[in-house]
């Protein structure tokens, strides 16, 4: 243990590691181009939010595993609030005109948000896993190790189904022991259970609604991101090698928890 008489007192700056943090924004353009700073800061802020989201998602899953639905709902509410802030932050980036972006775009070379491992970790946690994605990251790297771990873990939906089963719902064994790597496919059995939950079980219906909020919130981010991309680079291909907005448009509108959407017409 350090000696309290000789140890330097914790300050705002030392606690937050401000010197390190504030040295991490390094524009690549000569000059440098004014708007590159905004571009770097906003991406770094997103990565910090992704980190916090992953931390909170781990928390929700743990709370469901421990049969604490009220605290789980509370944490989901925090996640949704963060998501709203993340969507709103795109407004700031939209103040950058196409020409301002083009002034430094070639400096990004092949760098793109498509390579964000934390974004992929969130997708894995929500059931959209891919071995191909893992292979894009160097073996032994922080990103690859994190993705490998999340690949093998139960998704948030798995934790939810197991929780429902312990609440007394007849979740089929095939769902409780489903392949954790497989996509979450619609299931008529689960839909029947969810209809029962919505009709007779306010506590768990509220939990379901928060999951729908989450699903919708992520779709909202995708939609706003593609609109921002369209207004900034139009039909140009992405720096990450995709067709750009055309590729991104295909990712909008897909639901994370299909059963929660399917039942709407049957309630
Ligand atoms: C001027 C600003 C931006 C532009 C023009 C832009 C453009 C693009 C493009 C074209 C793609 C498709 C992949 C490719 O590069 O070929 C993409 C993917 C992506 N971008 Fe952005 N982006 C911008 C800002 C952001 C910000 C602030 C974030 C926040 C982290 C972000 C996160 C992502 C993610 C996660 C993907 C992968 C989406 C997926 O594969 O489903 N982007 N972006």
Task: Give the C-alpha separation, 212 to 207, whole Å.
Answer: 9
3-state secondary structure of 103: helix
* pLDDT tens-digit readout, 161-213: 999 999 999 999 999 999 999 999 999 999 999 999 999 999 999 999 999 99
Q: What is the pLDDT of residue 253?
A: 87
- Going by pLDDT thresholds of 50, 70 and 90, the confidence category of residue 4 is low
Q: Report d(CA 162, CA 156) in Å as an integer.
A: 10
Give residues (CB < 6 A) around ligand 1.
42-43, 46, 93, 101, 112-114, 116, 119, 225, 229, 232-233, 238-242, 244, 247-248, 251
Query: Which residue's alpha carbon is nearest to atom 34 within ligand 1?
Result: 113
Q: What is the pTM of this model?
A: 0.96
Tell me how far apart the alpha carbons of residues 125 and 155 are, in angstroms, rounded to a whole number: 5
What mean pLDDT value characterizes the chain? Answer: 96
Which of 198, 190, 199, 187 minimizes the C-alpha distance to 169? 190
- Top mutation candidate among 41, 113, 122, 234 for ligand 1, by most atoms within 8 Å of CB: 113
CA 202 to centroid of chain Cα atoms: 27
User: Which mutation among 123, 225, 228 tests ligand 1's pocket best, with the greatest number of atoms within 8 A of CB?
Assistant: 225
Confidence of residue 49 (pLDDT cuts 50, 70, 90): very high
Task: Report how far residue 42's alpha carbon sits from residue 90's, in angstroms, rounded to the nearest whole number.
Answer: 9
Instruction: List, in order, residues 6 or more apart from 200 with CB less than 8 Å away.
Output: none
CA distance readout (Å), 19 to 37, 107, 186, 237: 17, 25, 49, 37
Atom of ligand 1 nearest to the CA of 229: 5
1 pLDDT higher than 60: no
What are 16-26's pLDDT values in tens digits? 999 999 999 99
Nearest ligand 1 atom, CA 46: 30
What number of CA atoms fall less than 13 Å from residue 67's CA on the CB side? 5
């Amino acid at each position: 243990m350090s000696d309290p008489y000789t140890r330097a007192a914790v300050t705002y700056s030392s606690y937050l590691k401000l010197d390190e943090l504030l040295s991490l924004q390094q524009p690549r353009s000569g000059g440098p181009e004014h708007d590159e700073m905004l571009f770097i800061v906003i991406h770094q802020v997103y990565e910090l939010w992704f980190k916090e989201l992953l931390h909170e998602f781990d928390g929700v899953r743990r709370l469901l595993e421990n049969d604490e639905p009220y605290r789980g709902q509370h944490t989901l509410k925090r996640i949704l609030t963060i998501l709203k802030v993340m969507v709103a932050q795109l407004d700031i980036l939209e103040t950058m005109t196409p020409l301002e972006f083009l002034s430094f775009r070639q400096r990004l070379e092949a760098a793109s948000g498509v390579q964000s491992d934390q974004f992929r970790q969130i997708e894995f946690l929500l059931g959209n896993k891919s071995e191909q994605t893992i292979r894009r990251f160097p073996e032994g790297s922080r990103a690859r190790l994190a993705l490998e771990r999340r690949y093998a873990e139960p998704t948030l939906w798995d934790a939810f189904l197991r929780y429902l089963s312990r609440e007394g719902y007849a979740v089929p064994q095939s769902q409780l022991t489903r392949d954790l790597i497989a996509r979450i496919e619609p299931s008529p059995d689960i839909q029947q259970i969810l209809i029962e939950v919505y009709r007779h079980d306010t506590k768990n219906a509220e939990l379901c609604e928060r999951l729908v909020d989450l699903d919708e919130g992520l779709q909202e981010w995708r939609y706003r991101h593609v609109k921002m991309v369209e207004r900034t680079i139009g039909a140009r291909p992405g720096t990450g090698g995709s067709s750009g907005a055309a590729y991104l448009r295909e990712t909008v509108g897909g639901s994370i928890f299909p059963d929660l959407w399917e039942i709407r017409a049957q309630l």
